[in-house]
Amino acid sequence: MSDSPYVQLLDLAKQFGKVRALDGLTLNIAQGELVALLGPSGCGKTTALRSLAGLQELDRGQMIVDGKDVTFQNASKRGMGMVFQAYSLFPHMTAGENVEYGLKLKAHKTAADKRRARSAELLEIVGLSSHRNHYPHQLSGGQQQRIALARALAISPKVLLLDEPLSALDAKVRTQLREEIRRIQLELGTTTLFVTHDQEEALSIADRVGVMRNGQLEQIAAPAELYDRPSTSFVAEFVGLTNPITGSVSGGSISILGKTLKTLPGSVTSGEGIALVRPESIRVKSSASGTARVFSTSFLGASCRLMVTLSDGTRITVQMPSSESIGLTAGESVELSVLDMPVFVKSAA
């Protein structure tokens, strides 16, 4: 990895009518890194990706890829490989022809025999060598997206751009394909920007995940850090589940459920605060004198999720290993405890 980031998006801004899709977005991506942009719809993540592809003009900002300013470069000359949310294979071409298409064009002109070899290689990588002569309508959704991935990779793109490529697929295929995308990305070392609204997808395959909100990057960090140490209440609440539990804050810690926990940077510093506690940070123990009651349980295999009603009527979600939840049933009196992990505390107002 070189000193300066491979991809630099600097202060990008774009307005659509009254909607500010990008509002000073700055993002760096290192070479070979997979960065996922995560956010609710309308947060500007797709606009950011399309800008980098050259499909969206910007109002302001600069984009540098591999040391070159590409801000005003035409999409056809940027050398970005893109996989779209909608199926985008050319319907009149076979899978093989689709993969070879970019290599026939002036920008990536390749001799016929090399072209064939390259497309064979990529079809092999995505595991569809035997489907070379199939037309898109003869392929399933997952297969089409794999061919689209092979097509985008065939031109040896500077950056691979994935615009929610899995969102049209069913759950099983989605999980399978996202792992495959990660494998291929690591194998080829392609710098990748992946846009998704599915947090599980982002957290499971990205080196770093950027959470976007209102056209800006709210926080960007490695998945575990983002999950365990959110820097804003938006990130805490958007990524994963949280239970809002009220307590009093003082000196960088909050007392809830009879325990004093450290607060994360960015939290409320004094007075009343709401701690955002992960379901798996809470433990439940059967106790006749407990003030909380189990409302419902759902078995998830390795873990078990319980809804627990507190004495004041608030309901919280607890997720714990199935082995520890054996015997807990709805209506049972329980005692709650919380694991000693720093939490993010937002203002109670």
Partner 1 sequence: MKRTWKVQLWRRTIMGVVALYLLLPLYSMFDFSTKPFGFADNGRTLRAWKVIPSQPDLGVAIARSLITAGIVMLLILVMIVPTVIWVQLKLPKLRRPLELLCLLPLAIPAIVLVVGIAPLYRWISINLTESPITLAGVYSMLILPYTYRSLSAALDAVDIHTLAEAAQTLGASTFRMISGIIMPTIRTGIINGSFIAIALVLGEYTISNILNYKTIQVVIAQIGRSSGNVAVAVSLASLIFVLVLLLLVPSAKRRQEVLDVDLA
- Residues near partner 1, by CB under 8 A: 53-55, 75-82, 84, 86-88, 90-92, 101-102, 105-108, 131, 134-135, 137-140, 142-143, 146, 148, 151-152, 155, 161, 172-173, 176-177
Of 180 and 280, CB closest to partner 1: 180
Which burial class, exposed, middle or buried, applies to 20 when counting CB atoms under 10 A from its CB (0-12, 13-18, 19+)? middle
CB neighbours of 283 closer than 8 A, spacing ≥ 6?
Answer: 318, 320, 324, 336, 337, 338, 339
Of 101 and 234, CB closest to partner 1: 101
Of 72 and 90, CB closest to partner 1: 90
Which burial class, exposed, middle or buried, applies to 344 when counting CB atoms under 10 A from its CB (0-12, 13-18, 19+)? buried
CB neighbours of 68 closer than 8 A, spacing ≥ 6?
Answer: none
CB of 251 to partner 1, least distance (A): 54
Of 54 and 240, CB closest to partner 1: 54
CB of 100 to partner 1, least distance (A): 10
Of 138 and 287, CB closest to partner 1: 138
CB of 76 to partner 1, least distance (A): 5
Give the Cα separation of 310 and 256 in Å (integer): 12
Give the Cα separation of 228 and 312 in Å (integer): 27
The Cβ of residue 290 has, within 10 Å, a number of other Cβ atoms equal to: 17
Give the Cα separation of 176 and 196 in Å (integer): 16
Of 74 and 323, CB closest to partner 1: 74
CB of 241 to partner 1, least distance (A): 29
DSSP code of residue 217: E
CB of 86 to partner 1, least distance (A): 5
CB of 97 to partner 1, least distance (A): 11
DSSP code of residue 113: H
Largest CA distance in the chain: 79
Of 90 and 299, CB closest to partner 1: 90
CB of 19 to partner 1, least distance (A): 18
Residue with tokens 């608030």: 314
